[in-house]
Structures are given as structure tokens and as C-alpha cells.
């Protein structure tokens, strides 16, 4: 894949950058407030580089899941303001994506200037299943620019207009963020330094089955927490009470447990659980053994013995990938497991291990719990894309960049 350095002199050229600025927003009486600007900060270096090269930078991105038409609560306006603050220079905001406001904003750009287009998903063509509808929208987007830079790693697993179709219409390259993500993921999949542990959490085991299956041939240890662990406990014949359970996946998980044993991959499950009466910070809760969860309670975090066990299983690792919190970390009574795991990653990072936090809820969790991005080897901006890469799937937004320039 070509990089920005392969594009030649960009001064005065209009460069369309597909960034991932899908940040969490909190709606208040004063308007929308960004609660985690990690993706903005991660996207800024590529935009800043292009600006300093004298390009006329046109940033496009999506936010949330509007249904193909404008929706004020998903506007990128607050993102434009924050992006300007991070860059140290104002960012012009276009009030549409390919309409009059966008065209006027692009035409008024000077060398080094930056404009952010309104939410791509306000246009049905961005995510349309119809090739023709996507192509029509991609043509309009490509018409704004001379060159395309793909820098939204969180969307490269989607064959969407701004990710896939535009790259087929313009000379293109990867941005610094996508390049960094791919380089790290290659280190996780191609001869990783060992011992290599993968920590998986989050709500659903079904979201992670593909990556579990693929990693059983790569990782030395799989540590399982979060809501998905209860399907593993059920597969071992244990009572999980009212905990989150995907009953239709129990047999599949049994197969993975048997395969792991055959292949010598250690699967580490919690030995104690924080069990509560209800999914609430105010609910009565206690630490119980993982094999003695009361039938009328639900597990909402791994317990302290499990946190210590997980930390011990990571202590000698040279490579660690983590995707998914250990519990309902948004509620203080159930945040301890995730915080302890994050600290264990910080500790092995300081010992020289490569530690990768796999985006999404995991990235939000470590920041909410007081950790800095620099405490870890790499914080991914693409949870779903990272998982699909680790599954061995082909990612359309990457394969199109390998097809050669126009």
C-alpha cells in the first residue's frame, strides 16, 4: 500500500481524507458534548501533516447511525470545533457533505487549510447495498478532490462509498493512522513475540467467535472475562444465574475448549465473580466463586481473585492483545476488574512487552478509569476492524488500497 510520501508534491492539491471521528457524544441542554476525543486526537497527526505539506485538506467521516438523512444529534459540528483545537488551527465546517456548502467550503480553501464535511451517513449512498447508489455518492465525493487518503481504520472492514468506492476513483494512499494500525496487527499475527496472551471481554461471545477460532492457532493464552464469560462457564456445566448467556453458542464454546486443550492453548476463566441482584450500581452485590453463582443473581464483573490470576498470567508476556472490558465498568461497583486488568497491561508495557488495547469500549474504559494512552503500546481506533483482521478476514478498505494507483 502506498503512503502519503508516495503521492509526490501535494501543495495546492485537494486531498480527501477519510478519518474515523465517530466519537461518543452526550446530549445536554447546551448541545452535544464529546465524552471521549481519542479518535479525534488519533486522526489529527495525518491531517496536520497534510496541512503542513500545503495540501487543501477535506476531511470526511461519519458519526453514529443516522438513517441516510440529516439528523441534528449526529452532526459533526462539535467534532469540527474540537479538531480545530487539537490541530491548533481553525477547521471550516461544511453543513452538508457534497452539496452547496461543501463545494463552497472546498473552493475557498487555501493551501494548508482544513475543512470537515458534515456526516457522511446523512447520505443514503454512503452505506447503500446497491453498488450503483454507492458509486453515485462516491463520484460526488471524489469530485471534490484530486487525491484520496484512507485514514479511518475503524471503517476499513466496511465496503462503503467513502472507504472503498472513492479509493477506486482517485490516486490514493494510506494515512499514518491506518499504517500504524496495520503494522501493529501484523506484529500480532505474524510471528508474535512470546508468550502471547489475548484477553477478550465485552458482552457477547458471538461477536468474538471468529477471532477465538483463529487465535487458537496463534496465541499461547486466552483470558476470558466480561459478559461473554458466562457462556464459557455454562459450557463447563456451571450455573450462571441471571447472567448474560448466549445459550445457542454453548456447544460451539465447548468445541473451542476441547480444541484449546488438544492444541495446548491455555484458556483462563475467572475463579470469582461480582454477582448482583440487578443491572444497577445500587443493587446488592457480593463476590462469589465462579462455580457458585446464585440462580437469582447476575455476574457484572470479575472478582479480585480473578483479577490477580489474570495479572499473573500476563506478567511474563511479551505480547498482549485486549479487546472488551471485564465487567460493566461504567458503574463504579463493577469497574475494579477492568481497572486491574488495565494496570496489569501497564506493568508489562513497562517491561518492554507489546500491549495493544483493541478499540471501542476497551479504549473508552481505560481513559475513563484514569489511564493515559501512552501507558500502553498501542490503543486501536478500530475495534471491529481489529477483530476482523485478527480473524484473518479480508478488509475491503485495505484490499482496495493494494489495487494500485489510478
Give the residue numbers marked as catalytic: 39, 204, 360, 384
Ligand-binding site membership of 352 (annotated): no
- Among residues 242, 318, 223, the alpha carbon closest in space to that of 212 is found at 223
Angle at 368 between CA 219 and CA 31, to 5 degrees: 130
Q: Secondary structure of the chain: what % helix, strand, coil (to 5)?
A: 45, 15, 40
Ligand-binding site membership of 277 (annotated): no
Q: Give counts: helices (H), strands (E), the chain.
A: 13, 17
Cβ atoms < 10 Å from Cβ of 71: 15
Ligand-binding site membership of 185 (annotated): no
Spatial strand order in the sheet of 272-276 = 285-289, 272-276, 298-302
Ligand-binding site membership of 39 (annotated): yes
- Among residues 192, 217, 206, 153, the alpha carbon closest in space to that of 1 is found at 153
| CA torsion through residues 370, 375, 380, 384, sign | negative
Ligand-binding site membership of 20 (annotated): yes
Ligand-binding site membership of 362 (annotated): yes
Ligand-binding site membership of 21 (annotated): yes
Ligand-binding site membership of 360 (annotated): yes
Ligand-binding site membership of 297 (annotated): no
Q: What are phi and psi of 174, to 5 degrees?
A: -85, 145
Q: What is the DSSP letter of 404?
A: -
Q: Is the peptide bond before 195 cis (omega within 30 degrees of 0)?
A: yes
Ligand-binding site membership of 89 (annotated): no
Ligand-binding site membership of 110 (annotated): no
Ligand-binding site membership of 392 (annotated): no
51 to 13, 111, 378, 381: CA distances (angstroms): 11, 7, 25, 22
Ligand-binding site membership of 63 (annotated): yes
Residue written as grid cell 443491572: 279
Beta-sheet pairing, 31-34 with 25-28: antiparallel
Ligand-binding site membership of 194 (annotated): no
Ligand-binding site membership of 251 (annotated): no
Q: Which residues are annotated as a binding site?
A: 20-22, 39, 62-65, 121, 158, 208, 299, 330, 359-362
Q: Which residues are annotated as a binding site for substrate?
A: 20-22, 39, 62-65, 121, 158
Q: Which residues are annotated as a binding site for ATP?
A: 208, 299, 330, 359-362
Amino acid at each position: 500500500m502506498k503512503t502519503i510520501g508516495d503521492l509526490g508534491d501535494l501543495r495546492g492539491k485537494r486531498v480527501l481524507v477519510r478519518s474515523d471521528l465517530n466519537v461518543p457524544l452526550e446530549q445536554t441542554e447546551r448541545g452535544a458534548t464529546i465524552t471521549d476525543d481519542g479518535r479525534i486526537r488519533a486522526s489529527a497527526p495525518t491531517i496536520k501533516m497534510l496541512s503542513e505539506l500545503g495540501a487543501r485538506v477535506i476531511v470526511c467521516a461519519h458519526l453514529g447511525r443516522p438513517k441516510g438523512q440529516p439528523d441534528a444529534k449526529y452532526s459533526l459540528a462539535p467534532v469540527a470545533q474540537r479538531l480545530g483545537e487539537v490541530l491548533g488551527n481553525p477547521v471550516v465546517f461544511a453543513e452538508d457533505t457534497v452539496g452547496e456548502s461543501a463545494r463552497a467550503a472546498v473552493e475557498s480553501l487555501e493551501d494548508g487549510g482544513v475543512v470537515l464535511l458534515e456526516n457522511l451517513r446523512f447520505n443514503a449512498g454512503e452505506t447503500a447495498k446497491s453498488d450503483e447508489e454507492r458509486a453515485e455518492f462516491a463520484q460526488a465525493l471524489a469530485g471534490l478532490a484530486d487525491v484520496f487518503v484512507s485514514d479511518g481504520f475503524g471503517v476499513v472492514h466496511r465496503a462503503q462509498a467513502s472507504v472503498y468506492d472513492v479509493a477506486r476513483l482517485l490516486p490514493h494512499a494510506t494515512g499514518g493512522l491506518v499504517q500504524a494500525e496495520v503494522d501493529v496487527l501484523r506484529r500480532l499475527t505474524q510471528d508474535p513475540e512470546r508468550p502471547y496472551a489475548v484477553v477478550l471481554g465485552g458482552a457477547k461471545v458471538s461477536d468474538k467467535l471468529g477471532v477465538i477460532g483463529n487465535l487458537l492457532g496463534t496465541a499461547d493464552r486466552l483470558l476470558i472475562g466480561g459478559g461473554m464469560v458466562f457462556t464459557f462457564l455454562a459450557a463447563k456445566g456451571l450455573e450462571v444465574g441471571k447472567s448474560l448467556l448466549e445459550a445457542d453458542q454453548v456447544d460451539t464454546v465447548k468445541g473451542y475448549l476441547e480444541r484449546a486443550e488438544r492444541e495446548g492453548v491455555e484458556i483462563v476463566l475467572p475463579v470469582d465473580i461480582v454477582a448482583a441482584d440487578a443491572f444497577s450500581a445500587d443493587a446488592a452485590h457480593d463476590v462469589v466463586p465462579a462455580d457458585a453463582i446464585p440462580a437469582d443473581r447476575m455476574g457484572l464483573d470479575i472478582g479480585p481473585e480473578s483479577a490477580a490470576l489474570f495479572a499473573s498470567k500476563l506478567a511474563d508476556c511479551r505480547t498482549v492483545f485486549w479487546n472488551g472490558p471485564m465487567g460493566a465498568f461504567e458503574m463504579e461497583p463493577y469497574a475494579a476488574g477492568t481497572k486491574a486488568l488495565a494496570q496489569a497491561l501497564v506493568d508489562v508495557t513497562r517491561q518492554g512487552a507489546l500491549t495493544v488495547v483493541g478499540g471501542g469500549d476497551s479504549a473508552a474504559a481505560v481513559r475513563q478509569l484514569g489511564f493515559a494512552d501512552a501507558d500502553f503500546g498501542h490503543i486501536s481506533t478500530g475495534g471491529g476492524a481489529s477483530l476482523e483482521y485478527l480473524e484473518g478476514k479480508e478488509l475491503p478498505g485495505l484490499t482496495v488500497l493494494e489495487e494500485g494507483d489510478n
